Amino acid sequence: MPEKYGLVLGSGFDSFTTDVQARRVETRFGLPSAAVREADIEGQQLLTLARHGEPHTIPPHAINYRANMAAFKDAGATHIIALNTVGIVSDFLACGEIALPDQILDYTWGRAHSIYDGLDDKFDHIEFDQPFSTLLRAELLQAASRGDIDCYDGGVYATMQGPRLETIAEVARVERDGADYVGMTAMPEASIARELGLEYVCLALVVNHAAGRGEGPIHADIEANSLSARTQAKSLLAQFFRDKSND
Ligand code: HPA
């Protein structure tokens, strides 16, 4: 099957697509957050979907992750690069940087987290020891190194329920559990993608210090660092898709 890439867009990423025609198409899990729109990055035709809707109105716990991943699959995607903003728990990375986490902790609850709901005649226990596509991670890291773009390799993404930010004690707890980043959207997106047979990676944009780990209010931190993380992520995607076009 030919590779087709889907980009899950977090906030601030609508500029990738000029495809305003596409309509939101119902999946077997209901409506996705938004239409799957075509985009072109460095000569590669890909698909995009705004995770929080258009406009940005759907909070992390209310996203229909099953419909979003199914919408990509129905539109022909085979590979998914998910853009997720995160807070950083310790200071091994500066805010404004990007990373490709390699593990997940899941603290979410009440989200429809599997495509299997007991209504079909079968289900599967997917393997999830490596929650992100090792091949796609390696290719993105290779692109980063070729383009001389800083992108941290690895780390544990703790998926928090949100939409509120964490308490200091919660950050201390997830750190004891091994977390490096806190975010709200990698799960159940990543495991649903695996259930659907999609190669999925999380490209994390470090936009703030986790609660209690920075100086001022978290929102000021996010304001100050989002642009640089976004610029870095865009450079990596451009390099990655340029490499694909030249392959
Ligand atoms: N916590 C949870 N999710 C986030 C954060 C955070 O500090 N920053 C961006 N997404």
Question: Which mean pLDDT values do the consecutive 10-residue runs of the chain (247 residues) have?
Answer: 93 75 93 96 95 95 98 98 97 96 98 93 94 98 98 98 98 98 98 98 98 95 95 97 91
User: Ligand 1 centre from 62 Cα, in Å?
Assistant: 16
d(CA 210, CA 170): 10
Q: What pLDDT is stored for residue 111 in this prediction?
A: 98
H-run or E-run covering 234: helix 218-246
Number of domains in the chain: 1
d(CA 145, CA 141): 6
pTM: 0.97
Residue found under tokens 């898709």: 241
Q: Domain containing 124: what range?
A: 5-246
Q: What pLDDT is stored for residue 60 in this prediction?
A: 98
Is residue 162 within 8 Å of residue 156, measured between CB atoms? no
Q: What pLDDT is stored for residue 5 in this prediction?
A: 98
**Top mutation candidate among 56, 170, 180, 182 for ligand 1, by most atoms within 8 Å of CB:** 182
Is residue 166 within 6 Å of ligand 1 at its C-beta? yes
Q: What pLDDT is stored for residue 156 in this prediction?
A: 98
The CATH number assigned to the domain holding 155 equals: 3.40.50.1580
Beta strands 44-50; 5-9: pairing state:
parallel
**Top mutation candidate among 160, 209, 213 for ligand 1, by most atoms within 8 Å of CB:** 160
Is residue 208 within 6 Å of ligand 1 at its C-beta? yes
d(CA 93, CA 74): 37
Atom 7 (ligand 1) nearest CA? 87
